[in-house]
Structure 1
Amino acid sequence: MKIAFYGSSLLSAYWNGAATYYRGMLKALAARGYDITFFEPDVYDRQANRDIDPPEWCQVVVYDGTVEALEQVATQAADFDIVVKASGVGFQDDLLLTRVMAAARPGALRVFWDVDAPATLAEMRAAPDHPLRRMLPDLDLVLTYGGGDPVVAAYRGLGARECVPVYNALDPETHFPVDPDPRFACDLAFLGNRLPDRDSRVAEFFLKPAGLAPDQSFLIGGSGWGDVPMPGNIRKLGHVGTGDHNALNCTPRMVLNVARDSMAANGFSPATRVFEAAGAGACLITDQWEGIELFLKPGEEVLVARDGQDVADLLAGTSPDRAARIGRAALARVLADHTYANRAEQADALFRAHAGRMEAAE
């Protein structure tokens, strides 16, 4: 089957946290025989900051960030068996959704794939005339990369026919243990772009522990942190390319995950960073959110912190040997249960079930 996927960017992770998820999912679906074309707009300097070349497993169409170009690529949806519009494309999202779903041929599977479901749901609740909310009853399927039962219930309550979480995972060919890199030597590293709904949690779970542990060394990577005042034991890296992620996860004694406000409040929303770090064998500290035990076992495969004081205590109380044991256990768990091959098997079953229903209706 042929998939048209309209998303933010497959080629660039620059200001694009969904890139790892797109790459892992679509690569694994291609391995199952899907013919995929990814459509992405040239916006936010992403094309100037590409970190991969167009892959052999997916055709990529880059279009200008103009309404005229959007209209042109939207018409191409008519040539595909499955038409996917992702959330957060970054240019005229509502118009793109309307145009690609209108262009989809009769019988094609029409999918909205939400990579930030708590935020999307909040927008729709606040706007009864939201274009996605109006269109939900006519879409065949909503997929989300997290959220669990709360997100499923919310989407169904707003009119979705079917909503299924397809969680983040690991691509073991992309994220894996490597030798330590002295550039990233520290006690605790955090990687994430600065976003309004992440600021307060980063202050609590990263900046506060740095202030409480002046004898420990800290690294922060990601765009947007340059002008944020921080304790002197924090080193700022700026944007970290995908090619350096494994070293950044393998080198520090411990690595921190901090959820965005909406995802922490909703729960059941592990970030891609969780699986990237585990796939590299890192000892991960995550802020506490409901559902973590579905993915990694607290205390054995991941360390969980309720606040910044907990982070400081875990840093002080976790020896390098214990950190290494936790990292090895996390790696074993994600390789067994949380790869994109697992997730693609799930998505493939959903797609084929729809195809079977359409054949039966003919």
Structure 2
Amino acid sequence: MAKKINIAFFGSSLVSAYWNGAATYYRGIIRALHERGHQITFYEPDAYERQKHRDIPDPDWAKVVVYSAEGNQGVNRALEDASSADLIVKASGIGVFDEYLETAVLDIKKPDALVTFWDVDAPATLDRVQNNSADSFRPLIPNYDLILTYGGGEPVVNAYKALGARECIPIYNALDATTHYPVSPDSRFAGDLGFLGNRIPDRETRVEEFLFRAATQLPDYKFILGGNGWESKPMPINVNYLGHIYTRDHNAFNCTPKAVLNISRESMARYGFSPATRVFEAAGAGACIITDFWKGIERFLEPGREIIVAENGDGVAESLRQLTPEKARKIGDAARQRVLAEHTYTHRAEQLEAILSSDFDSRKLQRFC
């Protein structure tokens, strides 16, 4: 698209991945849009101690505006500043002011601007609005020019359209090859299988099955667990819990164990077509990935050649028994080649530009074409 646009983006945090699984996704897509000439301002609240746990400084590829999580004065200033943008994005799961912003971004846009709801957790959003007819977001869905999601495929698209969405399009997670790539192993992360993910109710039972059950079956193998919230969780003795792993250490975490594990949240697995950011981070580092099964895996990586798929903890254990270092290296190399060819954030930015240039609502989009 010839026209370069000014984007106002309201999200959880761009500068901190602390209790913020969407950080890698935000950084990848926003950096790629900047490289294509677009201007992005990212508005984030000072909440959940994220500013105390920054893992990147303010980037040169986006302007970051941090507003207070106390009272409405700060968020209202941010909204006033964002009102001149060509594209206003309200992401899901900011954690504060979500209901307020869902309405406010619709109120502030110019007549010739677009307003988008970008859902980084569509299964949770859809479950909420479908189970509660009085949910405040539900009647707002048809008012957005576009719903974007970072996963979900046809099940999510159909569900949003049934709720009145004008258009719903997935823009999947991807690889930022400038930040996730092969590095030398690090002894802190040595082991047979590593998993990196925060402890949340929607994932905990599946971690017990796919990680802890496998560890119990393989007492002579070493398992590595990183992420927030697991310190009080009973786990097998051969699981080494490391706590929060900063983004700067993700490459080493992915490159050191013989394999890394992807465990989807229950809702993500149920909807399918929802590769987590950790899948592309690990693939970019050339890691051999073992994943739980979810519909649509083959759209991103080929099972058996570029990724190993396990139905349960028994399957994870059996996969590890059969996995030689040579086989792990071959699978990791194939995964890296695939994501570099098809699944980078440059690919996703090109997709977004094509969406904005499409004719699904030519009255609003013609100025961007």
Under a length normalisation based on structure 2, what TM-score does the superposition of the two structures give? 0.96
Distance in 2 (CA, whole Å) between partners of 1:93 and 1:290 is 30
Q: Which amino acid aligns with 1:335?
A: L
Which one of 18, 28, 31 corresponds to residue 14 of structure 1?
18
8 Å Cα contact 1:254-1:284 kept in structure 2? yes
Matched, 1:50 2:40: no
Matched, 1:134 2:176: no
Deviations 1:226-254 (A, max 9, x none): 01011111101100000000000000000
Distance in 2 (CA, whole Å) between partners of 1:178 and 1:58 is 27
Which residue of structure 2 lines up, in the alignment, with residue 285 of structure 1? 290
8 Å Cα contact 1:75-1:99 kept in structure 2? no
Which residue of structure 1 lines up, in the alignment, with residue 65 of structure 2? 61
Deviations 1:250-277 (A, max 9, x none): 0000000000010011100000000000
Matched, 1:325 2:323: no
Which residue of structure 1 lines up, in the alignment, with residue 364 of structure 2? 358
Which residue of structure 1 lines up, in the alignment, with residue 116 of structure 2? 111
Deviations 1:326-350 (A, max 9, x none): 0000000000000000000000111
By how many angstroms is 1:360 displaced? Answer: 5.2
SS at match of 2:195: strand
Deviations 1:95-153 (A, max 9, x none): 11111221111111110000000110001101223222111111100000000000000
Higher alpha-carbon deviation: 205-214 or 89-98: 89-98
Which residue of structure 2 lines up, in the alignment, with residue 275 of structure 1? 280
Which one of 222, 232, 257 corresponds to residue 217 of structure 1?
222
Which one of 334, 340, 344 corresponds to residue 339 of structure 1?
344
Where do residues 25-104 of structure 1 align in structure 2 (5 Å cutoff)? 25-66=29-70, 67-104=72-109
Gap regions ≥5 residues in structure 1: none
SS at match of 2:242: strand
By how many angstroms is 1:359 displaced? Answer: 6.5
Where do residues 197-236 of structure 1 align in structure 2 (5 Å cutoff)? 197-236=202-241
Q: Which amino acid aligns with 1:114?
A: D
Q: Which amino acid aligns with 2:284?
A: G
By how many angstroms is 1:74 displaced? Answer: 1.6
Deviations 1:278-313 (A, max 9, x none): 000000000000000000000000000000000000
Gap regions ≥5 residues in structure 2: none
Matched, 1:158 2:163: yes
Distance in 2 (CA, whole Å) between partners of 1:127 and 1:2 is 35
8 Å Cα contact 2:255-2:287 kept in structure 1? yes
Deviations 1:140-185 (A, max 9, x none): 0000000000000000000000000000000000000001111111
8 Å Cα contact 2:356-2:365 kept in structure 1? no
Distance in 2 (CA, whole Å) between partners of 1:42 and 1:352 is 34
Q: Which amino acid aligns with 2:52?
A: A
Distance in 1 (CA, whole Å) between partners of 2:170 and 2:81 is 27
Which residue of structure 2 lines up, in the alignment, with residue 308 of structure 1? 313
Which one of 170, 175, 185 corresponds to residue 175 of structure 2?
170
By how many angstroms is 1:79 displaced? Answer: 1.1
Identity of aligned residues (%): 56
Distance in 1 (CA, whole Å) between partners of 2:190 and 2:79 is 46
SS at match of 1:197: helix
Under a length normalisation based on structure 1, what TM-score does the superposition of the two structures give? 0.98
8 Å Cα contact 2:105-2:115 kept in structure 1? no
Q: What RMSD, in angstroms, separates the aligned Cα atoms of the two structures?
A: 1.2
SS at match of 1:131: coil
Matched, 1:249 2:254: yes
8 Å Cα contact 1:76-1:103 kept in structure 2? no
